[in-house]
């Protein structure tokens, strides 16, 4: 008997393969789902279209205030999907989905981490803020356990955060990590350094993020200032605001803002290492993607970055204190001075990356779907 083809609605405000981790995760997973099910994508902004997905543009009446737009997105998608789909799978804050993939720490974290008078003051401040009330209400609708609802988290790191804030969700969360498509890494382009005005002996360190401050760029720049090594160049990719970052005079010629880069695999293959000194990251897809291109990685440890829960010190250089610029400087300097260790780490990281795939992400997602579909309609992977 053939497996049933489900009608699946996927919700995300920005469907963008070049966006942040949540957007890229949603794009990859949606493509995987569309290979076996009838998938409809509902978004306000659609940056890429593929033939086997039906796309629906949701009105965006206003960009700000953002919480109003979030409430409107929830309302419009409820009207558009009600009673029409077997699965309504949201990557965004809405009130009506039956599957939610959660990508960021809970809004409630600020309150659960506060104590005593600080907690009382925070709640008083919340009562005076329509924005905070809206986000807390949306999150409550999204995460509170309910029959016919499944939660998916992108890491153990995020699962712990969910359970700390909503203890009733313990044992109710499926984990579906982001992944990669296993394949050989791209080869270096010999003329790439020349085309970009670098010397062949320069050490190129890559930083990729959209939120520069949260991902640790100011501390990283401070580390480069301490190193004061003209051979070490920092390449910064992403749509974060360069104007908000202070660049010391001594490092200005060694720091390069690239903006959004669409051909990331080519960039990975032509630099020497990736650094991800994030202060908080539920996963950290850029580190996995860099490893898949056989690039050595410096990344915050498991207390700051969900992806690091997969890693050993042989597979990546783990930062104990990503807010410590001296530690970052020492780790960069070690990779710069020890190419053999760099190459060995790159190979071991590449081997690890090949075991973390989008096919696994799909299978874990389908496992969550199975809890919602009646036994006569089991959901299987292809």
DSSP string, 331-375: HHHHHHH-HHHHHHHHHHHHHHHTTSBHHHHHHHHHHHHHTTS-T
- Express each pLDDT in 266-298 by its tens digit: 899 999 999 999 999 999 999 999 999 999 999
- Tokens for 218, please give them: 């100011």
Helix runs in 166-263, H state only:
192-195, 217-227
Q: Which residue has the tokens 């020492």?
A: 330
pLDDT value, residue 230: 93
Higher pLDDT, 275 or 172: 275
Cβ 373 vs Cβ 379: under 8 Å: yes
Higher pLDDT, 170 or 78: 78
pLDDT value, residue 286: 95
Segment 164-189 shows an average pLDDT of: 89
Segment 355-360 shows an average pLDDT of: 95
Residue 381 pLDDT > 60, yes or no? no
Q: Which residue has the tokens 């400087």?
A: 329
Eight-class DSSP state of 228: -
pLDDT value, residue 62: 86
Report percent pLDDT > 90 for the chain.
70
Give dist(CA 134, CA 75) in Å, integer.
13
Domains and CATH numbers, the chain: 7-179+357-370 (3.40.50.2000), 192-353 (3.40.50.2000)
- Express each pLDDT in 194-246 by its tens digit: 888 888 889 999 999 988 999 999 999 999 999 999 999 999 998 877 777 88
Residue 83 pLDDT > 50, yes or no? yes
Say whether 298 sits in a helix, a strand or coil: strand
pLDDT value, residue 377: 54
Return the bridge partners of 8, or none.
Answer: 39, 87
Give dist(CA 91, CA 88) in Å, integer.
10
pLDDT value, residue 193: 84
Distances (CA, A) of 17 to 7, 27, 232, 261, 296: 23, 6, 30, 11, 24
Cβ 364 vs Cβ 152: under 8 Å: yes
- Tokens for 215, please give them: 């991902």
Phi, psi of 74 (to 5 degrees): -60, -45
35-44, 132-141, 367-376: lowest mean pLDDT where? 367-376
Per-chain mean pLDDT for the chain: 90
Q: How many CB atoms lie within 10 A of CB 224?
A: 23
Torsion angle of alpha carbons 366, 370, 374, 376, nearest 10°? 70
Tell me whether residue 75 is exposed, middle or buried, using C-beta atoms within 10 angstroms of its C-beta: 0 to 12, 13 to 18, 19 or more. middle
pLDDT value, residue 177: 95
Cβ 380 vs Cβ 318: under 8 Å: no
Whether the upstream peptide bond of residue 88 has omega within 30° of 0, thus cis, is no
pTM of the model: 0.87
Phi, psi of 179 (to 5 degrees): -145, -165
Distances (CA, A) of 102 to 27, 156, 282, 299, 369: 15, 12, 10, 22, 15
Phi, psi of 269 (to 5 degrees): -75, -15
Cβ 307 vs Cβ 288: under 8 Å: yes
At 1, is the pLDDT very low, low, confident or very high (cuts 50, 70, 90)?
Answer: very low
- Tokens for 290, please give them: 């860099």
């Amino acid at each position: 008997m053939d497996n049933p083809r489900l009608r699946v609605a996927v919700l995300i405000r920005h469907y963008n393969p070049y966006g942040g981790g949540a957007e890229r995760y949603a794009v990859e997973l949606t493509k995987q789902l569309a290979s076996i099910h009838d998938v409809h994508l509902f978004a306000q902004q659609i940056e890429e279209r593929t033939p086997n997905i039906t796309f629906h543009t949701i009105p965006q009446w206003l960009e700000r205030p953002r919480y109003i737009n979030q409430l409107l997105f929830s309302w419009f998608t409820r009207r558009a999907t009600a009673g029409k789909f077997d699965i309504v799978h949201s990557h965004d804050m809405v009130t009506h989905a039956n599957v939610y993939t959660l990508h960021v720490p809970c809004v409630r974290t600020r309150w659960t981490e506060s104590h005593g008078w600080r907690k009382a003051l925070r709640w008083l401040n919340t009562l005076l803020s329509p924005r905070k009330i809206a986000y807390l209400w949306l999150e409550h609708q999204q995460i509170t356990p309910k029959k016919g609802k499944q939660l998916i988290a992108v890491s153990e790191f995020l699962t712990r955060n969910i359970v700390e804030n909503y203890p009733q969700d313990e044992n109710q969360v499926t984990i579906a990590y982001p992944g990669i498509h296993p394949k050989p890494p791209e080869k270096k382009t010999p003329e790439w350094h020349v085309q970009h005005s670098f010397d062949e002996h320069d050490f190129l360190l890559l930083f990729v993020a959209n939120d520069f401050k949260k991902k640790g760029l100011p501390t990283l720049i401070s580390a480069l200032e301490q190193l004061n090594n003209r051979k070490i160049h920092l390449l910064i990719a992403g749509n974060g605001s360069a104007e908000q970052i202070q660049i010391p005079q001594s490092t200005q010629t060694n720091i390069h803002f690239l903006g959004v880069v669409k051909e990331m695999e080519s960039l990975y293959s032509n630099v020497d290492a990736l650094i991800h000194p994030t202060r908080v990251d539920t996963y950290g897809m850029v580190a996995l993607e860099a490893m898949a291109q056989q690039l050595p990685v410096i990344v915050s440890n498991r207390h700051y970055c969900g992806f690091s829960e997969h890693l050993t010190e042989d597979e990546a250089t783990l930062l104990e204190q990503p807010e410590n610029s001296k530690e970052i400087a020492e780790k960069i300097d070690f990779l710069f001075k020890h190419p053999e260790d760099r190459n060995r780490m790159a190979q071991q990281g590449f081997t690890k990356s090949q075991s973390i795939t989008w096919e696994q992400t799909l299978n874990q997602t389908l496992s969550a779907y199975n809890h919602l579909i009646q036994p006569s309609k089991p959901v299987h992977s292809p």
